[in-house]
Amino acid sequence: MAWASENGVSGRTINSALSTMRVAVHYAVDREELDRDPFRNVKESADSPKEKGVLSFDERAKLINSEPTAPHSRLAVLLGLLCGMRRGEVRGLKWSDIDNGLINLTHNFVNMEGLKKPKRGKERVVPYLDIVEKAFEEVRKITLHPAPDNYVFESIERPGTPMGETFFRNALRRELEGLGISNGKKTSKNTPAIPSEQKKRNLTFHSLRHTFITLGRLDGVLSDLEIQAVARHSTRRMMEHYSHAEKVIDFRTMREKMGKVVGM
């Protein structure tokens, strides 16, 4: 842990590795293969999570109006940017969840756990715009079996399962590079690497959800109640305050308001 910290490894990464090792050692102790747990008194590394970056109004508009790098990549990014969906929710999305301008968000796909309900078991309805509908159609055109129970982002290598997390990281990287937000790379052996603006700004797939919520509130077109209903804030205070939002909101009208936000 000391070596990792001295070499610039983040506290979060160190703690993740420590947690993995704890599981294996605990299993060995239970099987009496070890006399004691050497990790019992090992404290976690200090971790100060870096705040997620968000796109600006201009960057959002530029991305929406730019040429997509690939159908699946553009759809994945739009679902995060314009629908506030988490990566696991996008991975778990099935064709049967899509219903004429609305997504019945009932699935979430997590590695090692597989298909499950959305985070904290909170199913919700998510309106989507015409540009997202077009992105759905482009993906449908190149999908071999868009059956209702199949994943929208089905893996080609492993039919019946969604694409892996790496695909979504790469999809965002490509789309952001199209906006001129660099990912960092070496042009030759004798030149230094181009600094990664994506890393510096901490732009990850979850940043798209942050952008949706942040710009949605700054736009002033959507109320906090409407944003809560679609995004499902995770804090207890927000959840309790808006616990019945989905029962009083007209999602069709909200869809029209969202279109005005992004100029559509």
Q: Are residues 15 and 67 in the same domain?
A: no
Average confidence (pLDDT) over 40-49: 81
Task: Specify the higher pLDDT residue, 196 or 247.
Answer: 196
Q: Specify which residues 104 forms β-bridges with.
A: 125
Q: What are phi and psi of 103, to 5 degrees?
A: -110, 120
Q: Are residues 1 and 104 in the same domain?
A: no
pLDDT of residue 242: 40
Q: Are residues 107 and 39 in the same domain?
A: no
Domains: count for the chain: 2
Q: Are residues 34 and 67 in the same domain?
A: no
The chain-wide mean pLDDT, for the chain, equals 84
Region for 112 from its dihedrals, namely left if φ exceeds 0, alpha if ψ lies in -120 to 50, beta otherwise: left
Are the C-beta atoms of 118 and 124 separated by less than 8 Å? yes
Q: Are residues 145 and 248 in the same domain?
A: yes
Helices 205-219 & 71-83 angle (0-180, nearest 10)? 40
Rg (CA), the chain: 21
Other CB atoms within 10 A of residue 178 CB: 16
Q: Could you give the percent of the chain with pLDDT greater than 90? A: 43
3-class DSSP assignment, residue 162: strand
pLDDT at residue 234 tops 80: no
Which one, of 142, 131, 157, 162, lies nearest residue 71 by Cα? 142
Q: pLDDT, tens digit, for every residue of 244-263?
A: 445 545 667 777 777 776 76
Strands (E), the chain: 98-99, 102-105, 108-110, 114-116, 124-127
CATH number of the domain where residue 123 is located: 1.10.443.10
What residues make up the domain containing 45? 1-49
Q: Are residues 98 and 19 in the same domain?
A: no
Cα distance between residue 73 and residue 7, in whole Å: 34
What's the token pair of residue 59? Answer: 């960057």
pLDDT of residue 75: 98
Question: 133 pLDDT band (50/70/90 cuts)?
Answer: very high
pTM: 0.75
DSSP assignment letter at 258: H
Question: 240 pLDDT band (50/70/90 cuts)?
Answer: very low
Q: Are residues 36 and 116 in the same domain?
A: no
Question: 8 pLDDT band (50/70/90 cuts)?
Answer: confident
Q: Are residues 175 and 91 in the same domain?
A: yes
pLDDT at residue 135 tops 80: yes
pLDDT of residue 228: 72
Q: Are residues 108 and 7 in the same domain?
A: no
Q: Which of 31, 49, 67 is the last residue of a domain?
A: 49
Q: pLDDT, tens digit, for every residue of 84-128?
A: 999 999 999 999 999 989 999 999 998 888 999 987 777 889 999
Average confidence (pLDDT) over 179-204: 77
Are the C-beta atoms of 179 and 62 separated by less than 8 Å? yes
pLDDT of residue 63: 94
Q: pLDDT, tens digit, for every residue of 61-81?
A: 999 999 999 999 999 999 999
pLDDT at residue 218 tops 80: no
3-class DSSP assignment, residue 115: strand
pLDDT of residue 105: 93
pLDDT of residue 188: 58
pLDDT of residue 186: 54
What is the sign of the dihedral through the CA atoms of 216, 219, 222 and 228?
Answer: positive
Q: Are residues 21 and 115 in the same domain?
A: no
Q: Are residues 90 and 196 in the same domain?
A: yes
